C-alpha cells in the first residue's frame, strides 16, 4: 500500500502553536521534510524516533519530489512541514503540481502563520473598526519578483493594515514606498522578529524612525512588518515590549553585532536548547551536539561522544568564531593546543547553559569575541563578560576599530603599544575618516585628528610626529579584497565556501575583508556561486571573455580556454574587479573550485 503525503504548517515557532492535526500527522510520519531554520527543532521531537528527518534547505524541488515519491511507494507516510501556514510563501504550488503529475495524493493542514503570531505579539487587531476593515498580506520584491500592479507604492495607498513577509532586509526602501504611496511618516509600524520564539523581539516605531531602530536592533531577516493605524493602541505607541529586546537593543547600539560564521557546541540537553535559541538569533551559526541528542535535535550537527576535541580542531579555521555552551575549563583545555596568536585565532566565547553569562575568552578585538559575547547576551538576556582593558574603560581599541570596519592591521606587533598609550591617555595623532574619529575618539584625552582620510588612503595611528614616517605607527589597511572564482558546473555552495575560506586562510585574510567576488560571464547562472554571494551579502561581478583575456595573469587555465576561449577566469576576474595588476594569492585549486585574490586598489576598484 502507498503511504500518505501531508503538507502541514508547523506554526510560527513556539512548539505549542502547532495544530493538533499537524502534531498527529508528525506522530504518524516515517519521513519528515522540513523547511530549514524557521521550523523549531523541538517540533520534530513529536515524530517517532526512527522517522527520517530531512532539512529541505539543501534540496532542490526535484530532490524533494523524488524523496517523497520513493517514500510513498515504499508505503511510508511523508510530512512536508512548512513554517507558519503553508499557504503563505510556502512554495507549495510547485510541489503540488509535481505530485499531481505523479498522481500522488496529498492533504494540506493549515498552521498559525507568523503574521498572526506577530499581530498577537503586539496585541493588534489588524481590522480595527474606525481605522480599517482590511488587512493586506504581501511582500516586497526580492529574488521573487512582485507583479507591478501589486507594488507597495500602489498597494499601500489607503488605510489598510499591511503585513509584510520577507521584506525586512531593506527597511529604508520599504519606508520610501509607503511614503510614496502617501502614508504619513507618523504611521505606526511594528516589526516582530521570530514571533513566538524564545528570542522574539518587538520593535515599535513610525515610518519615520523604524529603519534606524531596526538597524540598531540588528534585525535583518525572519521578521514580520506590520504597518498602519491599527497597530497602535492607546499608550503603547513606542513601547518596546520584550525585556530581551530592550537589552539587545541597548547592547546593539553600543557594540556592533557579530556577523561571522559561528560554530556553537553544546554537550548537555539544556545546553543544546540554549544553543538553538542563540543560533536562531544569529546570522550564520551551526550547532554541534553529541550524537545521543541527534534525534531530539535533528536540525543540529552531531559528533561522537569523546570526539569534541577532534571536531573543534577540524572546525577551527572553518569558522570565524566558536561558542561553547559549557564550563570555561572544558573550553580552555580543548582550544589550548590550537592557539597561534591574536591576529589569526578565531573568536572564542563561552556561555553557561542558562545563558546568564557570555564570556569573551579569546580574540576579543580582531577576532570579534567581545562583539560575539554581547550579541549572545543580547539574545539570551544575560550579561556579556568582557575583560579587555580598553573596553572596560569604554575606549575603542585600535584593533577593535579595525575589526568593526573590516580593516586589516598591517603591523599587529604594534597593537599592544598603541592600545596601551590609548589606555594611559597619552598623546597620539590619528589619520582616520573624519566621521569615525568624531564618533569614537573626539572626546578622548590626548587624541588628535591630523588628517581626515580620502578613500585613497589607509588609516594610521601615530605618535605626535608631524607625520614623519620614522616614528612608530600602527598602520591599518582599509582596502578590501576581490576574490576571483572559477568553478565547474553544478558546484555546491558548500564547496565554494570551503575553497574561499581555505584560500583566505592561506593568504592570512579574513572573510570580512572581502569586498567582492568576481567570475566569468559564463558562470552568471551558477546557483552555488550566486547563493554563496547572497549568503555573505557580497557583490559578485561577471566579466566577459574579452575583458578577461585582456589581462595578463601569472597562470592560464587550459580547460577554460578549451571550453570557453577564456585564458584565465579566477586570476583575471580578481584583478579586473580589484583594478590592479597584482595578485595577493595566485590561483589555488581547491576541490573543483579555483580561487585567486587581489587587493582592491582604492582609486581603481571596479565599484559599479
Ligand atoms: N509560511 C510562513 C511564511 C514563510 S516565508 C508563514 O505563514 O509564516 C518566510 C518569512 O515568513 C520570513 O522571511 C518572515 O518574514 C516570516 N516569518 C516566518 N516565521 C516567522 C516568525 N516566527 N516571526 C516573524 N516572521 C516570520
Check residue 572 and give its pLDDT: 95
**Alpha-carbon distances, residue 464 vs 301, 431, 496 (angstroms):** 53, 11, 46
Q: Mutation test of ligand 1: which of 82, 138, 224 has the most ligand atoms closer than 8 Å to its C-beta?
A: 224
Task: State whether the beta carbon of 84 lies less than 6 angstroms from ligand 1.
Answer: yes
H/E segment holding residue 527? helix 527-535
Report the atom number in ligand 1 closest to the C-alpha of 113: 7
Task: State whether the beta carbon of 580 lies less than 6 angstroms from ligand 1.
Answer: no
Task: State whether the beta carbon of 113 lies less than 6 angstroms from ligand 1.
Answer: yes
DSSP strand pairing (301-303 vs 284-290): parallel
Residue nearest to atom 24 of ligand 1 (CA): 223
- According to DSSP, the residues that pair with 543 across neighbouring strands are 520
- According to DSSP, the residues that pair with 594 across neighbouring strands are 486, 589
The residue that leads in pLDDT, 341 or 383, is 383
Task: State whether the beta carbon of 83 lies less than 6 angstroms from ligand 1.
Answer: yes
User: Three-class SS of residue 352?
Assistant: coil
Is the pLDDT score of 194 beyond 80? yes
Check residue 606 and give its pLDDT: 45
Check residue 455 and give its pLDDT: 46
The residue that leads in pLDDT, 109 or 240, is 109
* 54, 76 contact by CB (below 8 A): no
Average pLDDT over all residues of the chain: 86
Residue nearest to atom 18 of ligand 1 (CA): 114
Task: State whether the beta carbon of 195 lies less than 6 angstroms from ligand 1.
Answer: yes
Task: State whether the beta carbon of 222 lies less than 6 angstroms from ligand 1.
Answer: yes
The one-character DSSP state at 55 is E
Give residue 85 CA to ligand 1 midpoint distance, Å. Answer: 9
Q: Give the mean model confidence (pLDDT) for residues 436-455.
A: 78
Task: State whether the beta carbon of 283 lies less than 6 angstroms from ligand 1.
Answer: no
Is the pLDDT score of 242 beyond 80? no
Q: What is the end-to-end Cα distance of the chain in Å, rounded?
A: 59
Is the pLDDT score of 101 beyond 70? yes
> In this structure, how many other beta carbons lie within 10 angstroms of the beta carbon of residue 329?
9
From the centroid of its chain, how far is CA 118? Answer: 22
What's the rounded Cα separation, in Å, for the pair 117 and 102? Answer: 35
C-alpha cell at 512: 570580512
From the centroid of its chain, how far is CA 399? Answer: 23
Residue nearest to atom 21 of ligand 1 (CA): 194
C-alpha cell at 529: 556561486
Q: Which of 533, 580, 574 is nearest to 555 (CA)?
A: 574
* 597, 509 contact by CB (below 8 A): yes
Check residue 282 and give its pLDDT: 86
pLDDT tens digit string along 69-90? 999 999 999 999 999 999 999 9
Residue nearest to atom 2 of ligand 1 (CA): 84
Give residue 102 CA to ligand 1 midpoint distance, Å. Answer: 30
* 111, 71 contact by CB (below 8 A): no
Check residue 225 and give its pLDDT: 98
Give residue 122 CA to ligand 1 midpoint distance, Å. Answer: 16
Check residue 28 and give its pLDDT: 96
pLDDT tens digit string along 502-534? 999 888 888 877 888 999 999 988 899 999 988
Task: State whether the beta carbon of 224 lies less than 6 angstroms from ligand 1.
Answer: yes
% the chain with pLDDT above 70: 91
Check residue 497 and give its pLDDT: 95
Task: State whether the beta carbon of 118 lies less than 6 angstroms from ligand 1.
Answer: yes
Is the pLDDT score of 180 beyond 90? yes
Residue nearest to atom 9 of ligand 1 (CA): 166
Q: Given pLDDT bands bounded at 50, 70 and 90, which one contains residue 453?
A: low
Q: Give the mean model confidence (pLDDT) for residues 562-569.
A: 90
Sheet of 585-590: strand order equals 539-543, 514-520, 481-487, 593-599, 585-590
Looking up cell 563578560 gives 385
Q: Mutation test of ligand 1: which of 40, 93, 113, 114 has the most ligand atoms closer than 8 Å to its C-beta?
A: 114
What's the rounded Cα separation, in Å, for the pair 430 and 448? Answer: 6
Give residue 468 CA to ligand 1 midpoint distance, Å. Answer: 57
Give residue 166 CA to ligand 1 midpoint distance, Å. Answer: 7
Report the atom number in ligand 1 closest to the C-alpha of 35: 4
Looking up cell 557546541 gives 265
Q: Which of 548, 561, 564 is nearest to 596 (CA)?
A: 548
Give residue 130 CA to ligand 1 midpoint distance, Å. Answer: 28
The one-character DSSP state at 338 is G
Give residue 221 CA to ligand 1 midpoint distance, Å. Answer: 9
Looking up cell 580556454 gives 561
Give residue 425 CA to ligand 1 midpoint distance, Å. Answer: 49
**Alpha-carbon distances, residue 496 vs 501, 528, 535, 597 (angstroms):** 8, 7, 12, 14
Give residue 536 CA to ligand 1 midpoint distance, Å. Answer: 21
Check residue 246 and give its pLDDT: 31
Is the pLDDT score of 364 beyond 50? yes
Q: Mutation test of ligand 1: which of 10, 11, 38, 117 has the most ligand atoms closer than 8 Å to its C-beta?
A: 38
The residue that leads in pLDDT, 195 or 432, is 195
Is the pLDDT score of 170 beyond 60? yes
What's the rounded Cα separation, in Å, for the pair 378 and 339? Answer: 28
Q: Mutation test of ligand 1: which of 13, 41, 82, 84 has the most ligand atoms closer than 8 Å to its C-beta?
A: 84
Q: Mutation test of ligand 1: which of 35, 37, 56, 89 has the most ligand atoms closer than 8 Å to its C-beta?
A: 89
Check residue 580 and give its pLDDT: 85
Amino acid at each position: 500500500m502507498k503511504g500518505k503525503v501531508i503538507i502541514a504548517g508547523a506554526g510560527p515557532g513556539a512548539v505549542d502553536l502547532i495544530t493538533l492535526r499537524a502534531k498527529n500527522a508528525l506522530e504518524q510520519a516515517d519521513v519528515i521534510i522540513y523547511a530549514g531554520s524557521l521550523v523549531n527543532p523541538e517540533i520534530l521531537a513529536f515524530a517517532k524516533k526512527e522517522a527520517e528527518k530531512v532539512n529541505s534547505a539543501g534540496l532542490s524541488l526535484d530532490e524533494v519530489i523524488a524523496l517523497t515519491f520513493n517514500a510513498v511507494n515504499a508505503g511510508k507516510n511523508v510530512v512536508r512541514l512548512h513554517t507558519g501556514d503553508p499557504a503563505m510563501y510556502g512554495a507549495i504550488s510547485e510541489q503540488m503540481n509535481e505530485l499531481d503529475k505523479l498522481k500522488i495524493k496529498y492533504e494540506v493542514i493549515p498552521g498559525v502563520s507568523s503574521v498572526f503570531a506577530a499581530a498577537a505579539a503586539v496585541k493588534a487587531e489588524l481590522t480595527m473598526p474606525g481605522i480599517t476593515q482590511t488587512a493586506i498580506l504581501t511582500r516586497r520584491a526580492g529574488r521573487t519578483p512582485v507583479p507591478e500592479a501589486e507594488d507597495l507604492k500602489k498597494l499601500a495607498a489607503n488605510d489598510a493594515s499591511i503585513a509584510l513577509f520577507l521584506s525586512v532586509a531593506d527597511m529604508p526602501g520599504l519606508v520610501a514606498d509607503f511614503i510614496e504611496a502617501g502614508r504619513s511618516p507618523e504611521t505606526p509600524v511594528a516589526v516582530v522578529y521570530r514571533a513566538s520564539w524564545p528570542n522574539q523581539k518587538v520593535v515599535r516605531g513610525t515610518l519615520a524612525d523604524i529603519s534606524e531602530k531596526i538597524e540598531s536592533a540588528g534585525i535583518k531577516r525572519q521578521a514580520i512588518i506590520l504597518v498602519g493605524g491599527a497597530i497602535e493602541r492607546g499608550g503603547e505607541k513606542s513601547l518596546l515590549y520584550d525585556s530581551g529586546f530592550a537589552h539587545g537593543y541597548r547592547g546593539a547600539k553600543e557594540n556592533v553585532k557579530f556577523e561571522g560564521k559561528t560554530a556553537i557546541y553544546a554537550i548537555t540537553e539544556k545546553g543544546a536548547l540554549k544553543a538553538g535559541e542563540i543560533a536562531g538569533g544569529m546570522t550564520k551559526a551551526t550547532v554541534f551536539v553529541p550524537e545521543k541528542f541527534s534525534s531530539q535535535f535533528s536540525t543540529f550537527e552531531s559528533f561522537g561522544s569523546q570526539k569534541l576535541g577532534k571536531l573543534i580542531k577540524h572546525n577551527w579555521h572553518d569558522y570565524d568564531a566558536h561558542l561553547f555552551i559549557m564550563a570555561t575549563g572544558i573550553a580552555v583545555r580543548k582550544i589550548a593546543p590550537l592557539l597561534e596568536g591574536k591576529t589569526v585565532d578565531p573568536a572564542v566565547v563561552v556561555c553557561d547553559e542558562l545563558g546568564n553569562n557570555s564570556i569573551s575568552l579569546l580574540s576579543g578585538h580582531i577576532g570579534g569575541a567581545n562583539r560575539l559575547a554581547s550579541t549572545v547576551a543580547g539574545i539570551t538576556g544575560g550579561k556579556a563578560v568582557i575583560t579587555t582593558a580598553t573596553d572596560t574603560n569604554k575606549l575603542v581599541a585600535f584593533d577593535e576599530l579595525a575589526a568593526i570596519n573590516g580593516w586589516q592591521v598591517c603591523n599587529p606587533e604594534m597593537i599592544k603599544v598603541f592600545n596601551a598609550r590609548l589606555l594611559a591617555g597619552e598623546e597620539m595623532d590619528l589619520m582616520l575618516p573624519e566621521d569615525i574619529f568624531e564618533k569614537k575618539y573626539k572626546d578622548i584625552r590626548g587624541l588628535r585628528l591630523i588628517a581626515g582620510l580620502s578613500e585613497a588612503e589607509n588609516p594610521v595611528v601615530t605618535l605626535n610626529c608631524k607625520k614623519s614616517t620614522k616614528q612608530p605607527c600602527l598602520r591599518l589597511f582599509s582596502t578590501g579584497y576581490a576574490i576571483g572564482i572559477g568553478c565547474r558546473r553544478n558546484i555546491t555552495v558548500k564547496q565554494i565556501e570551503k575553497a574561499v575560506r581555505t584560500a583566505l586562510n592561506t593568504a592570512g585574510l579574513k572573510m570580512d575583508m572581502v569586498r567582492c567576488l568576481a567570475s566569468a560571464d559564463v558562470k552568471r547562472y551558477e546557483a552555488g556561486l550566486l547563493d554563496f554571494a547572497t549568503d555573505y551579502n557580497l557583490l559578485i561581478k561577471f566579466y566577459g571573455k574579452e575583458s578577461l583575456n585582456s589581462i595578463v595573469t601569472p597562470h592560464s587555465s587550459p580547460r577554460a580556454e578549451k571550453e570557453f576561449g577564456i585564458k584565465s577566469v579566477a586570476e583575471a576576474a580578481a584583478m579586473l574587479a580589484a583594478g590592479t595588476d597584482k595578485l595577493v594569492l595566485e590561483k589555488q585549486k581547491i576541490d573543483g573550485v579555483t580561487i585567486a585574490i587581489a587587493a582592491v586598489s582604492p582609486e581603481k576598484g571596479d565599484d559599479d
